Amino acid sequence: MQGIFRNIKGDKAIWAVAGLLALFSFLPVYSASSNLAYLYGDGSTLPYLLKHLAHLLLGFAILYGVHKIPYHYFRGLSIIALPVVIVLLLITLSQGTTIEGANASRWIRVPFVGVTFQTSTLAAVVLLTYVARYLSKIKDKTITFKESLLPLWLPVFIVLALILPANFSTTAIIFAMVVVVVFIGGYPLKYLGIVLGAGIIMLALFVLTAKAFPGLFDNRVDTWMSRIESFADNTDTEADYQIEKAKIAIASGGVTGLGPGKSIQKNFLPQSSSDFIYAVIVEEFGMVGAMVLMFLYLLLLFRLVIVAHKASSAFGKLLVVGVGLPIVFQALINMAVAVELFPVTGQTLPLISSGGTSIWMTCLALGMVLSVSAKREAKLKEMEEVENPLEILSETI
């Protein structure tokens, strides 16, 4: 055990938060999977628990392996991975597959393996790493909007355009995170305003095109519009059914909850082990469990800020913000949807919800953050070893 801890580098608090979230996830996933077991299995939730365990083991293997890679390597890897991601998004858009009744155009099936993969989550990590690389490259330079249009914004809008037809919420989150990273990276505000305006215009054109040709995008725009309208007007839709069941679950939980595995609404709540797992957690563990869970994500946010602040390079700072902040942002959105502060988005709860791609990409992002933190630790250790160079010289003589 001591050998394992010696090989673990980087911010120990981030390791602890990731481990606690992963360990805790077994209880709600095992409980909430009963709905899936009834609909798609033989009634046993054990296969879903074992599948979740396999996803977590692979995820933490990714986390451990990535955190051992010096983070400056990610600069070059992002350039190589970006065209690969664009190709994967094109494939996904053209031949997506259905996963347990969920949206058909978000996943692709890996040949010969039988594993499904949601390409948009990988695209988010790669794109934000690429943006961090570009901003660190131009940090001390004065550039015009025209100079940044092709190397920065063209890849951003290509990736977003390929994700948008199937997943508006993920597109919005990625775009928001790109804007945050660009703002922190010192990109001129007047140019950023142009980009925001262009993004709104392009979204409006997409919606109008989808409305004019309803069969072109598999009615996804109608789904978004109905969710937003039902959220604003409290009309009776499938999204409202989900929210109502989630609110019943939360109200039933009270302060201390009904107890692990005793949720009732998990049997009626669609996506109870993924999108709406937070409602099941509140029902079983009460407001106490809900607040502890939120505290862990806020602690992760605090440690991300610390790691970014202490990073020795501009790329390190922007990388931590770019790949780390979306984890907390996604968690807060998932919780907000369950309590009807946001329209239904389909965003999972990082490291808690079932689903391999979400877990793997969260671990990939945390591994990159820990790589930045590990580099800082290595530099501090070197400084301690040469703290008194005159003493070392005298001992040598």
Tokens of 324: 């780390």
8-state DSSP, 118: E
Q: Give residue-wise pLDDT tens across range 207-217.
A: 787 777 666 65
Return the bridge partners of 108, or none: 117
List, in sequence order, the alpha helices (H) in the chain. 2-7, 12-32, 34-40, 46-67, 73-95, 119-137, 145-148, 154-163, 168-184, 189-212, 220-233, 238-253, 277-310, 314-338, 356-385, 389-396
pLDDT score of 381: 60
pLDDT score of 329: 93
pLDDT score of 390: 45
- Taking Cα atoms as reference points, which of 208, 211, 238 lies closest to residue 222? 211
Distance between CA atoms of 272 and 286, rounded to whole angstroms? 16
- Taking Cα atoms as reference points, which of 373, 284, 314 lies closest to residue 132? 314
Distance between CA atoms of 353 and 26, rounded to whole angstroms? 9
On whether the CB atoms of residues 129 and 182 are closer than 8 A, the answer is no
> CB within 8 A of 349, min separation 6: which ones?
274, 277, 278, 330, 331, 334, 335
Distance between CA atoms of 24 and 34, rounded to whole angstroms? 17
Q: Give residue-wise pLDDT tens across range 181-232.
A: 999 998 988 899 999 998 899 888 887 877 776 666 555 565 666 666 555 5
Q: Is the dihedral of CA 259, 261, 267, 269 positive or negative?
A: positive
On whether the CB atoms of residues 36 and 343 are closer than 8 A, the answer is no
Distance between CA atoms of 286 and 334, rounded to whole angstroms? 17
On whether the CB atoms of residues 179 and 196 are closer than 8 A, the answer is yes
pLDDT score of 389: 46
pLDDT score of 109: 72
Name the helix (H) or strand (E) containing 116.
strand 116-118
Q: How many CA atoms lie within 13 A of 58 on its CB side?
A: 14
pLDDT score of 206: 80
Distance between CA atoms of 201 and 185, rounded to whole angstroms? 25
Return the bridge partners of 117, or none: 108
Query: C-alpha 381: how far from its chain's center?
Result: 32
Q: Which residues of the chain have pLDDT under 70?
A: 1-5, 39-43, 96-106, 110-114, 213-239, 376-397
